[in-house]
Amino acid sequence: MGQVKQKSSVSSRLQALWWLSSVIKDGRSVNDVLSTKLKKSADLSDFPFAKQLLFGSLRYYHQIKAILDQLLEKPLKQKDLDVYSILIMGVYQLKHLSVPDHAAISESVELAKKIKKPWAARLVNGILRNYLRQAEQIELKLAKAKTFQFSHPNWITNQLDADWGEQYQQILEQNNFQAPMIIRINSAKISLEDYIQELNSAGLIGAKHSVAEDALVLESACDVNKLPGFDSGLVSVQDAAAQLVVELLALDEQTKGLKVLDACAAPGGKTTHILQRYPEVCLTSVEMSEKRIQKIEQTLIRLGLDKQAKFKLLCSDLLDLEHWWDGEFFDRILIDVPCSASGVIRRNPDIKLHRKKQDLINIVQLQAKILCTAWSILKPGGKLVYATCSVFKDENENQIKNFLVNNHKAKPYRLAPKIDNQMAKHSQTGHQILPGDQQMDGFYLCGLEKPY
């Protein structure tokens, strides 16, 4: 059961309610709502508890929905999804947090009044009190339902079961844990050892990651602005699995004059990792969203990488070669393709609510187009890295197997032995990382060498 470290007022719950309603009612992502300003009535000191309510309510949304289905006589109307959000948060506090029952209920009732729906106050009070009285009976009835057990939509549970058999329950369980905060040191500015000392001086603790060379795992998550030297570009937040992409690109083999393409560049983590490690390569990064291009530019400035003479950042659809490609083939290509994001649910629990099975079909088709397009502009003898933050086989190992049927001379290659030997072998082709493997997110990466 989660611990509540401080007395938390209605304002923190109100802020969490605005966030949660935006996700449930308006279809916004967690990252999107957290990037918006706090409501005027919110106390900044309550931010951690509000965030805890948001993430916890989303992680256990499907489990709590199953409970509420037993308690509500009829579903609430679309316009009252904010009231439904109050109920989700209320049951989450009663079931998963150490909040006193009376506080969870009374302040949930107060929320109904705060959103100017006094009629809902009685409903919220009755439903939450009925849950307390009937919890054991309801949960016994739901015990065998996978939606209740693992708090995922059935299509995700079924897909993971089909892909991973006995391991699927472990993946589902990992998705409901809080992921560790992992940072990437800007090796162009500071060493890993020196930055650990900087952390210690700031009262923070970080340990070297087991396989990612530039990664530190923080003992406790913190606001990025509390990281020493964040504003001056000493460090970035990036999961260790994503940091392995640069290793698989094998840029150490030849750097001067090497033409490299980051074909799906946003949010810029891999572009900046390449530039800080290999400033002498000729890197082109392509991203189709102007808004995300601006975020990449801001990150480049923060890291001091915006003045690289051999670097080009282009706003274009990768598939529209006539619009952006100058006809010169690339020695290395990275495609971190759009995906279901099923490997990062623990960081983005809204994926459980927003992603649909049909989305997976469309995404797999798009991935295949991107892979074939990127392959067509790779030099003979060049290397391409295909990556996703997914754990679904159709996006990963099966996608590569299908590609190799039509490009059978393409040669898959692996990470260097010093890293490969430490990795779990979950796939025959490429590297499949499952959530929680060596503290990493779910991720897939595969190297492909083009024959001469």
Q: Do 331 and 358 lie in a common domain? A: yes
Tell me how far apart the alpha carbons of residues 262 and 282 are, in angstroms, rounded to a whole number: 11
Q: Concatenated DSSP letters for 332-347?
A: EEEEE-----GGGTTT
- Boundary residue ending a domain (82, 117, 145): 145
Tell me how far apart the alpha carbons of residues 33 and 54 are, in angstroms, rounded to a whole number: 10
Tell me how far apart the alpha carbons of residues 339 and 333 are, in angstroms, rounded to a whole number: 18
Residue 292 half-sphere exposure toward CB, CA atoms < 13 A: 16
Tell me how far apart the alpha carbons of residues 231 and 229 are, in angstroms, rounded to a whole number: 6
Q: Do 262 and 118 lie in a common domain? A: no
174 belongs to a structural domain: no
**pLDDT for the residue numbered 387:** 98
Average pLDDT over every residue of 186-194: 95
Q: Do 190 and 253 lie in a common domain? A: no
* Burial 290-310, CB ≥16 within 10 A → b, else e: eeebeebeebbebbbbeebee
What's 177's DSSP letter?
Answer: S
Q: Do 354 and 401 lie in a common domain? A: yes
* Burial 368-383, CB ≥16 within 10 A → b, else e: eebbebbbebbeeebb
157 belongs to a structural domain: no
381 belongs to a structural domain: yes
β-bridge mates for residue 332, sequence order: 260, 383
The domain total for the chain is 3
Catalytic residue among 264, 282, 389, 446: 389
Tokens for 364, please give them.
Answer: 């797999």
Residue 6 has pLDDT above 50, yes or no: no
* Burial 406-418, CB ≥16 within 10 A → b, else e: ebeebebeebeee
Tokens for 267, please give them.
Answer: 């949010």
- Boundary residue ending a domain (145, 172, 203): 145
Radius of gyration over every alpha carbon of the chain, rounded to an integer in angstroms: 24
CATH of the domain at 131: 1.10.940.10
Q: Do 194 and 211 lie in a common domain? A: yes
Q: What is residue 21's three-state secondary structure?
A: helix
Residues 93-145 have pLDDT tens digits of 999 999 999 999 999 999 999 999 999 999 999 999 999 999 999 999 999 99
Q: What's the whole-model pTM score?
A: 0.94
CATH of the domain at 304: 3.40.50.150
**Residue percentage of the chain with pLDDT more than 70:** 95
Amino acid sitting at position 287: E
Q: Do 57 and 88 lie in a common domain? A: yes
Q: Do 131 and 246 lie in a common domain? A: no
313 belongs to a structural domain: yes
Q: Which residues constitute the domain of residue 428?
A: 240-449
108: Cβ contacts below 8 Å, ≥ 6 apart:
13, 86, 87, 89, 90, 93, 124, 125, 128
CATH of the domain at 214: 3.30.70.1170
Residue 7 has pLDDT above 50, yes or no: no
Residues 52-66 have pLDDT tens digits of 999 999 999 999 999
- Boundary residue ending a domain (145, 160, 195): 145
Residue 43 has pLDDT above 60, yes or no: no
Residue 16 has pLDDT above 50, yes or no: yes
**pLDDT for the residue numbered 36:** 80
**pLDDT for the residue numbered 47:** 83
Whether 315 is catalytic = no
pLDDT level of residue 40 (50, 70, 90 thresholds): low
Q: Do 219 and 247 lie in a common domain? A: no
Q: Do 229 and 298 lie in a common domain? A: no
Better-predicted residue by pLDDT, 420 or 37: 420
Q: Do 307 and 401 lie in a common domain? A: yes
Q: Do 311 and 441 lie in a common domain? A: yes
383 belongs to a structural domain: yes
Output the CA–CA distances (angstroms, integers) from residue 391 to 237, 242, 401, in the order listed.
21, 14, 15
4 belongs to a structural domain: no
**Residue percentage of the chain with pLDDT more than 90:** 91
169 belongs to a structural domain: no
Output the CA–CA distances (angstroms, integers) from residue 359 to 85, 156, 392, in the order listed.
25, 12, 12
Q: Do 346 and 264 lie in a common domain? A: yes
156 belongs to a structural domain: no
